[in-house]
Every structure is written in C-alpha cells, then in structure tokens.
Chain A
C-alpha cells in the first residue's frame, strides 16, 4: 500500500474518532461479526443467569415425557427443543449448561494464556539457556498425551469443573508459550526496544511495558480462537467419557449422552451440537474481525464498508 498517502509534514493532525466509537463502527460494518458478538453476549447471559432461573426446571425429571420431540408448542416454550431421555426440557438444559461450558473454556483459556504468556516472555527475553529449557518443557507438554493427562487428573483428583479446566489449561500452555516467544524474539530486535535499553530500562520493564503490549493483540485473537478449540476439546473428552461427569452438564456432555439416542431422538444431541457450532463459529468470526480491526494496516477494509459512499 505504498501508494496510499501518508500524513504530510505541517498538515494538521487528522481528527480521529474515539476508540469505542470507532470499534462500534467497524463492528457495524461487519454484520457477521456483529451477529457473532450478539450471540456470544447471549451465551454469556445464559451462563450468568441460566442456573439461577432455570436450574430446577433443567433438573426436574419426567420419565413419562422422555425424548419428547421438539416443536410441540403445547408444553410451553421450554419444551420446544424437545426433552432429553429423562424428560427434562432441552432448552432449559442448554441454557443451564452454558455456565459450565463457558466457565471451563474461559477458565482453561485464561489459565493457559496467563501461564503460557509468562513463560513465553521469559523464554523470549531471558538467556538462551533458560529459553531452551522452557522450550523443552513446552515440547514435553505438547507431546504428553492429553487423554492420559485427563485420566490421571480424573483419577487422582476426581472429576470436577476445576479439574477439567486444569487438564485443558495444561495442554494449551505451549500454544501461548510458543507464540509469545516467537513474537518476543522478533520484537526484542525492534528499535523501540533498543531505545528503551539506551535509556537504561530494566529487562522487566522492557518485557512488561514495551514488549507485552505489542504481543497482546495477537494473544487476544489467539485466545478467542482457542476458546472455540477448548470447547470442542471439552466435548471430545466428554464423548470419550473422561471429561465432566453427570450430574454436572456441559454441551459436550449433552451431545455425548444424546448420541446413544441419535437414530430415534436426533434432537438430544443436535441442539447442544448446534450450540457448540454457533458459539465456536461466533468466536471464529469475532477473531477474524479482531485480526482486521486490531491491525492498523488492514483496518480500512472495515471502515470503508461502514460508509455509505463505498
């Protein structure tokens, strides 16, 4: 884009809209991302309020009404997705399960991002030897079979939301570690880091004040994607029977339980599957949008679309 004009010397600085307004405008420009964000907000809302509002309904069994088919309006809106094999309304269960699903994914992503980024910063900026040692550690974690890890944690610590978070977090650490380290290795050679060194800035200051903020957008995008990945991983664990155990519920577990009835009552695993697809799809869409919105050289694509004259 070298033929796009730069700001010339002496001209007044262009007035820029405030950051929130600008992001709202860019969001408006990408309707997919907007829809994705709205859907994610809905999921978060479900996770926050669902158990309090519908916790009892979602647990109330009715063996006579098991596997009730969807779209039967007579039973009330909670039943329009049908009922599961214990006659519990699927819609209510999906709403209630949102909390564990989101909590596991968020917990795992936050924990792995925090640990991975910290280790990555150290590996990237510390001496070669420390860096190499950390990378070997990452290799070991990467090749440690996650299923074995899940079984170990499940066996030693027992199945619980926290422990599933632990398993998923450990397996995802290398992703952040490697990304951060690679970025740090590149950024530490940049001139503004040299400038900070010339001023006498300590390594700690350079890493936290100069390098971390530059890595952060990449990590945010990565974390968004990873959120989707972790949700899928959690459901796969549930499928194999080594994840969350009932009566705790997550969407993944609902699919796993419903698959036994797939030929006769497809809705049991269809709706939670759809919930996962929509959520991960939204996260993917949002992260694609973020990749553009956070990149000053790509941003015009969104800003242009939002204007009527384009």
Chain B
C-alpha cells in the first residue's frame, strides 16, 4: 500500500454525554493525497468532524476518548506523538478553517495580529511575519489589505472573515488544509467565491484539502473524492462523480434524493381577492434601512416565498407583519383592516389568524415546558378556542398531524431532534387554527433529508387546510418545489416578484440570475459544466 499524505486508520472515538457513552465514530478510515480534495459528507450527528478534530488534537479528553486507531502523517502516528510535537505540526503542516469564522477568530485582537501570531508561534521573525501577513491578506482578496490587518473580526462581513481565516491557515504553507463546513453560514454568492478561492490556492500550493460538509452542492463543486458518513460510520466512499451517479448505500441514495429543487414547480394560481395586501412598508434600525418601501399581495391559500441574502430585510418583514417590531410607515391590510393600526385588544383577537414558525426550533421552544404545555399554551391564552377538558385530545391530534407520537406529549424539547422540534413548533402554530403562517427560515437549520420531510409536511397542511404561507428563505432551491409566488429581496427592496416558474425559468433581474447561478447543483457534472461555461465567459470578457 503506497503512503498517503495523511491517513486515518480504524479510528474510534467515544464521548460521554448526558445520555450515556456515545460512540461518535467507529472504525473510520480515509486518506488524502497531495493536491487532492477529499470531502467528508454527512448530516449533523454523523461524526463527520470527529476524525479531523482528532488529527489536530482538538478533542477534549474528557469527555472524549480515542479508543482505537492511528493517524499517519509523514510516516508517524500522530496519536503517539507528544504534545509539543503535535503543536509543531498544527498550523505549520496541517491547518484548519472552521464554520462560523466570527466566533473562531478571537474577538479582542486585530486580525493582522492573529495572522502574524500563527507564523511567530512557528518561529518566523516578527518583521517577516508581518510582511507575509500583508501578502496573504492581499492574496485572499480583501480590499485595503494594510488597513484590514489593523481591524477587528467584528468589523468584517462573513465572507471576508472566512477569507481571513483562510489567510491565517495558509500562513505557514501547510501540506494539508482541513475545512470544516467553511461556507455553511455564508450567502450563496459569497459561498461560490470562497470555494473558488480555496480551489485556486490549492492549485498554487499543491496542498491536500479535506472539506467537511453536509452540502452535496459543495461536494460537487470542489471534491475529487468523497466519503459519506452516517451515525459514526463510513457508509460509502469513492470519486465524487461515481458516488453521485451510482450510489450503492441506501443512505447515500436517500441523501441524494432529498436534495431540493428537482420536483414539479407549482402551476400559477388563479387570480383572487388578496387576503393580505402590504403597501410601502418602511422600517429602519438607526441608520440602517431594513425595509425600504416593500409591497406585496397574498391570496388565500397562496404560498409566497420571500428569498434574499443576509441583510435583505426578509426577516424584518416577518417581524413587522406580526407586530413583533413596529414599522415606521406603510400599511398592511388583513381582510381590509390595517394590521399596523390595531389596538392591543383588536391585535390580540387577530393573533389567531396569523402565526409564525421560527428558524431555530431549539430557541423558539421554551426549554422548560413540555410539548403538551407548549402546544396548549395557545388555548390558555385564547380560552375561547377550546375548553380545557379537550386539550389533551387535541394535543394528541395535532402531534399525529405533524407526524409525532402522541405519547411524547410529556417530554421536553431537548429530548427531540431538530426536525422533530420544528414539527412541534408547527403543531403549536396550528393549535390556533391560523389562516396564515409565516415561516422565517423554518428549514434552513435542518439537515437536507429532514428539510425535505418538513417541507412535505407544510405542503400537505397547505393542501388539506388551505393555509396561506409566507415562506422566508435564503436559498432558492428550497422554495422551488413549494412556492406559488417568489419575491426576491435585496437591501430592503423587492427586486423581483413573480410566479415560481417565471422566477426560476426566466428571471428578469441580474440579481436573481446571479443568485440562481451561484447556487450549487448536487451533480458534479452540472457543476463542472457551469465552471467551464464561466471560464469561457471570463475569457471572452477578458479578450
């Protein structure tokens, strides 16, 4: 067997948790070679980041414990090296970048200092390190590189911060770069740029890259080979194209099948009297204009998708419509009455009609209430809906309706998985029998396979109960199979509004087109073709 640049053999790690000992990974083996990109694909809890954490000695022991295996690098087993030897490898030979660069950069030091520190820690003289830092920051494409070095992490945007992380990781020209979900929290357009940067840098240095992701699109865009993980084990591995086109394992097949954006698009709805019509809503937070004259109409039973990148004002729209925040001006007529001018008592009565499902069910469900309490609270607040003696039965009914077992009614939210929690949140919204549910990024925190299930649930509720939805998302493919109308927002304004077919098949605005183009397709071939097309385009533009 030829030697690889970095090889993990038969690695098993367990963690002590509240529920007992969990074997996070079992007998995992993989390798990466020079100039190669390996993707580790898996959903949350699959153990996909555990082996890389072991490589960099980042597993806290306790609660973690490596029970078997070896990690070969440079012909040595890292697990047998002393702490000093491993520190010498970390950052110099093997470097890592993380998801959420904001929290992974030290908030209280200038970024330049942090980049320089990587180099001085490995013996580079300060002056050279500072010159090199400037070069690196210039290379990763930040505007005003010299000024950027003096700034603090919170003064950058998400994409810029990830570029800084990359600059820091590459400071010592490592042999291996490990990227843990490097683009997950980023907007699609930014994601494309960061992945491109990674690819270019790999070509320049010839390093091996290990990218950990849950996103088939990322795999398709960047990976040469992929290992698929589920529940702590590798279920399938091979070249990315082969795995996509010819998945062997049922789990892989399920994962590929769940990727959104492949079903039928909804046909246009018949024109009807709008149940909600919003006119010219404005809202500013200090000097930042979150909503800049937004208008929309919503017909009964319609699903309106509001899509936009961060800062587009889509969440503000939801909060303003539900009077969680007060708008500065504008009107929102719900069945002819202006939501913004209701008295507290009138608003209370109207709460029944308008409900909301939030992005993160972990945070939107009170951790100290049981499922039954969470759902029946609606009736405690609006006593006329349901007499107390029928609460139990109705909770059971609602749980069944969202696909949960009625006997779980007495459990607490933390005992459920993310998808199950979002179902509880939906059941809670349904308890008030609303006519409109606003879903604010209701599926974006969920795994792909779970996303699909929750969207299916919402779709079913819409069909069966005729509920209208305003569905807010940052991701276009997610809304493709679900929405009747799509509204694209940018910097507080509506840039495009049309039926789902119009927007997806013939987008009018350049911004919409850019959004669509930046979205990654799970098929490596499609992505390869797009890249080729882009190159030709650039060359043409350059010529």
Q: Which interface residue of B351, B364, B419 has the most chain A CB atoms within 10 A?
A: B364
Interchain CA distance A304-B418 in the complex, whole Å = 25
Is A5 part of the contact surface with B, judged by Cβ < 8 Å? yes
What is the CB-to-nearest-CB distance from B59 to chain A, in angstroms, rounded to a whole number?
Answer: 7
Name which of B408-416, B474-482, B523-531 contacts chain A: B408-416
Identify which of A9, A196, A202 contacts B419 (C-beta below 8 A): A9
Known: A5-B45, A8-B45, A192-B363. A198 touches B324 (CB 8 A): yes
- Contacts between chains A and B (CB distance < 8 A), count: 138
Interchain CA distance A16-B450 in the complex, whole Å = 24
Interchain CA distance A205-B377 in the complex, whole Å = 10
Interchain CA distance A5-B369 in the complex, whole Å = 24
| Contacting pair B15 A214 (CB below 8 A) | no
Is B53 part of the contact surface with A, judged by Cβ < 8 Å? yes
Identify which of B17, B348, B359 contacts A4 (C-beta below 8 A): B17
What is the CB-to-nearest-CB distance from A212 to chain B, in angstroms, rounded to a whole number?
Answer: 9
Name which of A76-84, A172-180, A295-303 contacts chain B: A295-303
**Chain A 9-29 interface residues, beta-carbon cutoff 8 Å to B:** 9-11, 13-14, 16
Is B114 part of the contact surface with A, judged by Cβ < 8 Å? no
Interchain CA distance A212-B68 in the complex, whole Å = 46
Known: A194-B364, A200-B351. A13 touches B416 (CB 8 A): yes
Nearest to B22 among chain A residues (CB) is: A5
Is B469 part of the contact surface with A, judged by Cβ < 8 Å? no
- Is chain A's interface secondary structure helix, strand, loop, or mixed overall? loop
Contacting residues, chain B, for A200 (C-beta < 8 A): 347-348, 351-352, 381-382
What band does the interface of chain A fall in when counting residues whose beta carbon is under 8 Å from B? 35 or more
Interchain CA distance A28-B170 in the complex, whole Å = 48
Interchain CA distance A175-B317 in the complex, whole Å = 39
Nearest to B25 among chain A residues (CB) is: A5
Known: A195-B364, A199-B351. A4 touches B24 (CB 8 A): yes
Identify which of B60, B232, B352, B418 contacts A5 (C-beta below 8 A): B232
Interchain CA distance A1-B47 in the complex, whole Å = 13
Contacting residues, chain A, for B420 (C-beta < 8 A): 9
What is the CB-to-nearest-CB distance from B49 to chain A, in angstroms, rounded to a whole number?
Answer: 5
What is the CB-to-nearest-CB distance from B289 to chain A, in angstroms, rounded to a whole number?
Answer: 21
Q: Bits for A157-197, please: 1 = Cβ < 8 Å to B, else 0.
A: 00000000000000000000000000000000011101111
Contacting residues, chain A, for B280 (C-beta < 8 A): none
Known: A5-B15, A310-B16. A195 touches B356 (CB 8 A): yes
| Contacting pair A7 B45 (CB below 8 A) | yes
**Chain B 409-437 interface residues, beta-carbon cutoff 8 Å to A:** 411, 414-420, 425, 428, 432
Is B276 part of the contact surface with A, judged by Cβ < 8 Å? no
Interchain CA distance A71-B414 in the complex, whole Å = 55
Q: Which interface residue of A8, A205, A310 has the most chain B CB atoms within 10 A?
A: A8
Nearest to B15 among chain A residues (CB) is: A4
| Contacting pair B450 A9 (CB below 8 A) | yes
| Contacting pair B364 A9 (CB below 8 A) | no
| Contacting pair A198 B351 (CB below 8 A) | yes
| Contacting pair A16 B351 (CB below 8 A) | no
| Contacting pair B381 A199 (CB below 8 A) | yes
| Contacting pair B47 A195 (CB below 8 A) | no
| Contacting pair A16 B19 (CB below 8 A) | yes
| Contacting pair B417 A14 (CB below 8 A) | no
Is B66 part of the contact surface with A, judged by Cβ < 8 Å? no
What is the CB-to-nearest-CB distance from A295 to chain B, in angstroms, rounded to a whole number?
Answer: 11
Identify which of A7, A9, A213, A299 contacts B368 (C-beta below 8 A): A213
Identify which of A10, A196, A300 contacts B63 (C-beta below 8 A): A300
| A interface residues, Cβ below 8 angstroms from B | 1-11, 13-14, 16, 190-192, 194-202, 205, 209-210, 213-214, 296, 299-301, 303-304, 307, 309-310
Known: A3-B53, A9-B419, A191-B364. 13 other contacts (CB 8 A): A3-B50, A4-B24, A5-B17, A5-B45, A6-B45, A8-B231, A13-B416, A16-B415, A195-B428, A198-B354, A201-B381, A209-B369, A300-B18
Identify the 10 closest CB pairs spanning chains A and B, nearest first.
Answer: A200-B351, A14-B19, A8-B45, A191-B364, A191-B363, A304-B16, A213-B368, A192-B366, A6-B45, A5-B45
